[in-house]
């Protein structure tokens, strides 16, 4: 059994496996080298051999306990024929949204458009370097995908209030998103991923209708994934009440964000926990890193815990700080 599966299944597990959100990306020189030659990000995600190579880059360098496939949560709108472009410095830009067109797309068309993602997973999952390691597949949660599809850009700069104006439209769109997320999850599992992580990066933006827009559609995806026999990790970033989220949704593991008090989390949350460390700690010095990492490891020493961050690793992170992080976690007794 892999260290992460052991952590999920055995309440008394004393292992502290480690992987890092966004580990296959911009802080790695070997990724930047490939990226510089591949200006079209979506095409890069659809390049079977390069996406497989990028997925394995952080494993080769740091020997993490899991690889996460090199892809993006916005491959979902891409698969639904909404244009998705990544412009330098501006983040994602999405094209017009046509509900009639979305309603006419069938599962086969969608799967065909993303076929290279699944082929890349098949190729990667049999690589011997992943022996005794997990290959993590992922999706954005329905709410987070909805935000990008309607807002057409990152809500970090500006979330248009229009999102909530036409409730019927939002409802219809959520149903479509959920249907295709299920297909995307199932395809990834069939291709060989051993865990699914659901990123709800913008859960914290929603102030009302949380049960309708976050809880219900997420619960449907979690139950669907469990039925397929694969563990599921949820990351409802910024959500007010992680305890309530875990009690209702019951994922196999929850990734806490860096604003969550780990001492409160360990007392209240009864399922395995992942993550928490503020990615900015990796921009400080080794002494501070040591102090902060040991703090998390101590707090979670009697709780099934997978070491990870409280959000994605920052592009300006130095390689030697990641090496130091892995060393601290592996040497902790």
Binding site for ligand 1CP (CB under 6 A): 22-26, 35, 41, 68, 70-74, 86, 91-92, 138, 154, 156, 199, 201, 312
- 107/155 with CB nearer ligand 1CP: 155
Q: Name the minimum Å distance from CB 291 to ligand 1CP.
A: 25
Q: How far is the CB of 45 from ligand 1CP (least distance, A)?
A: 8
Closest CA to 322 of 294, 291, 281, 275: 281
Q: In 3D, which of 240, 267, 272 has the Cα closest to residue 255? A: 272
Give Cβ neighbours of residue 104 (< 8 Å, ≥ 6 apart). none
Residue with Cβ nearer ligand 1CP (132 or 157): 157
Residue among 112, 113, 118, 123 at smallest CA distance from 49:
123
Phi, psi dihedrals of residue 298, rounded to the nearest 5°: -65, -50
Question: Smallest gap, in angstroms, from Cβ of residue 277 to ligand 1CP?
Answer: 15
Q: CA 5 → CA 175, 249, 253, 311, distances in Å? A: 31, 19, 10, 21
Nearer of residues 4 and 266 to ligand 1CP, judged by Cβ: 4
Nearer to ligand 1CP (CB atom), residue 13 or residue 317: 317
Inter-residue contact 25 to 45 (CB < 8 Å): no
Q: Shortest gap between Cβ of 320 and ligand 1CP (angstroms)? A: 19
Cβ proximity to ligand 1CP: between 27 and 110 the closer is 27
Asked whether the CA dihedral 251, 255, 260, 261 is positive or negative, the reply is positive
- Residue 28 C-beta: closest distance to ligand 1CP, Å: 9
**Which CB, 36 or 168, lies closer to ligand 1CP?**
36
Q: How many CA atoms lie within 13 A of 273 on its CB side?
A: 29
Q: How far is the CB of 80 from ligand 1CP (least distance, A)?
A: 16
Give the shortest CB-247-to-ligand 1CP separation in angstroms. 24
| 252 vs 266 by CB, closer to ligand 1CP | 252
Q: What is the DSSP string of 1-41?
A: --HHHHHHH-TT-----B--TT-SSTT-HHHHHHHHH---H
CA 169 to chain centre: 26
């Amino acid at each position: 059994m892999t260290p992460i599966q052991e952590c999920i299944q055995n309440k008394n597990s004393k292992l502290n496996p480690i992987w890092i959100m966004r580990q296959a990306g911009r802080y790695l020189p070997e990724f930047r080298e490939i990226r510089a030659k591949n200006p079209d990000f979506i095409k890069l995600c659809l390049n079977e051999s390069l996406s497989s190579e990028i997925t394995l880059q952080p494993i080769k360098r740091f020997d993490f306990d899991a690889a996460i496939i090199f892809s993006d949560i916005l491959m979902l709108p891409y698969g639904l024929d909404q244009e998705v472009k990544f412009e330098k410095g501006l983040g994602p830009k999405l094209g017009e949204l046509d509900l009639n067109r979305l309603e006419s797309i069938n599962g086969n068309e969608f799967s065909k458009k993303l076929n290279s993602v699944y082929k890349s997973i098949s190729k990667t999952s049999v690589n011997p370097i992943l022996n005794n390691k997990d290959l993590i597949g992922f999706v954005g949660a329905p709410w987070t995908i909805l935000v990008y599809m309607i807002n057409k850009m990152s809500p970090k700069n500006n979330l248009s209030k229009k999102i909530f104006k036409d409730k019927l439209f939002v409802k219809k769109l959520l149903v479509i998103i959920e249907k295709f997320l299920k297909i995307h999850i199932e395809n990834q599992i069939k291709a060989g991923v051993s865990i699914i992580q659901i990123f709800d990066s913008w859960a914290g933006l929603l102030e009302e209708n949380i049960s309708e827009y976050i809880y219900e559609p997420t619960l449907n995806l979690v139950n669907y994934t469990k039925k397929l026999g694969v563990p599921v990790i949820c990351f409802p970033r910024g959500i007010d009440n992680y305890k309530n989220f875990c009690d209702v949704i019951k994922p196999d593991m929850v990734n806490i964000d860096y604003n969550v008090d780990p001492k409160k989390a360990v007392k209240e949350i009864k399922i395995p926990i992942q993550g928490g460390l503020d990615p900015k700690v990796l921009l400080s010095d080794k002494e501070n890193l040591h102090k902060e990492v040991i703090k998390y490891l101590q707090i979670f020493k009697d709780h099934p815990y997978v070491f990870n961050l409280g959000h994605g690793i920052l592009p300006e992170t130095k390689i030697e700080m990641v090496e130091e992080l892995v060393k601290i976690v592996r040497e902790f007794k």
